[in-house]
A = this chain, B = another copy of it.
Amino acid sequence: MTMRDVATVAGVSTATVSKVLNDRPDVGAEVRQRVLETITRLGYRPNAVARGLRSRHTDTIAILTDDLEGIFTNALMRGVEDAASEYDVSVLLANSYGDPEKERKHLRRLIDRQVDGLIIMSGNRVRPRPGPALPLPGTPYVFLYEYGTSEPVPSVLPDDRGGAVLAARHLTGLGRRRIGFINGPASWDATRDRLEGLTVTVHEAGLTLDPALVRHAPSWSPEDGYALAESMLATHRPPDAIFCASDDLATGALAAIHERGLRIPGDVAVVGFDDRSLAVHQRPPLTTVALPLHEMGRTAGSLLLAAINGAPQRHELIRVPCELKVRASTSG
């Protein structure tokens, strides 16, 4: 069943069928109608491979990730798919499992298959990323949630600094004066920006940050959040609020505060970061800075699609604003 069959049955040329299929204006109304009917009657579907060969585009983009099982991967992907579906573009998924050799192989295959563009997305950084593992001549790409891209590539990240500003304003606005900060491991780029946002905002409120209450956790785990919160609480001037650079850290902090018999938020207010589903299930539900994962995915997708459609690629970092979710851990 090919376009020729449709043409024959409808009594037109294949060129006309093609025009109808591609919504070109230069087809008469009744002819268009007849062709359309024939198509549905025969159940004809155009061969995407043939179309791709001729028209030089496949209406397909690919997401290449090294961390398909990552906690943020799904929301990011959905964002990309949302953007893509607006343009009627399919999205393929390829997983390198964190193996650079696999990444190269996938990249080559995707290029061979003529995908129109690529989104390179990570959770855990496989390697330093000056760009894709392969030069991508003529294929637009954008990085999504990839920290550590020193080179100027189009890249979409959360506004970590701005997110911390939101949290800090919320806390100072609530009258908290001694804010502790349990940051993630210093090796993560995001922790620098979050610390900076917090610091600047606290200073703007006329307060200072006590260095004893500002700590990098060795990992993002609840256990480390617990340990650091406990040590802050044990000082003779404990904090009246603890901001944590992840929800997992905050979970640990909540436990430490409870264990001391302190009230949340009465004695100590707690703010997390990420807005994972566990945040809302905490006791009390956790106020947190939501990572705009879905919006980041959308942004990356739209950027890529724009580039594919000829827009000039902006080789720069795009920061997508975070949103503060206020819950009972700060405003009971």
Contact = CB atoms under 8 A, between A and B. Distances in A.
A48 B114 contact: yes
A97 B81 CA distance: 11
Interface stretch (A49-57, A182-190, A197-205, A293-301): A49-57
A49 B53 contact: yes
Contact of A78 (B74, B92, B97): B97
Interface stretch (A20-28, A104-112, A308-316): A104-112
Given A48-B112, A49-B49, A77-B95, 8 more contacts: A45-B108, A48-B113, A49-B113, A50-B53, A58-B113, A69-B74, A90-B109, A92-B94
A68 interface: yes
Contacts of A68: 68, 74, 77
Q: In the complex this chain forms, how many copies of it are found?
A: 2
Contacts of A150: none
A111 to B, nearest CB: 7
Interface in A45-87: 45-50, 52-53, 58, 60, 68-69, 74, 77-78, 81
Interface of A: 45-50, 52-53, 58, 60, 68-69, 74, 77-78, 81, 90, 92-95, 97, 108-109, 111-114
A77 B58 CA distance: 25
A220 B247 CA distance: 25
- Central interface residue in A52, A111, A114, by most chain B CB within 10 Å: A52
Contacts of A46: 112
A111 B53 contact: no
- Central interface residue in A46, A49, A60, A90, by most chain B CB within 10 Å: A49
A47 B114 contact: yes
A326 B81 CA distance: 43
Nearest to A62: B92
A113 B12 CA distance: 26
Nearest to A93: B93
Nearest to A1: B137
Given A53-B50, A93-B93, A111 B45 contact: yes
Contacts of A47: 53, 112, 114
A277 to B, nearest CB: 11
Contacts of A58: 49, 113
Contacts of A49: 49, 52-53, 58, 113-114
A43 to B, nearest CB: 10
A249 B144 CA distance: 37
A68 B65 CA distance: 14
A243 B112 CA distance: 51
Contacts of A90: 109, 113
A229 to B, nearest CB: 23
A66 B48 CA distance: 24
A300 to B, nearest CB: 17
A68 B114 CA distance: 25
A26 B97 CA distance: 39
Contacts of A74: 68-69
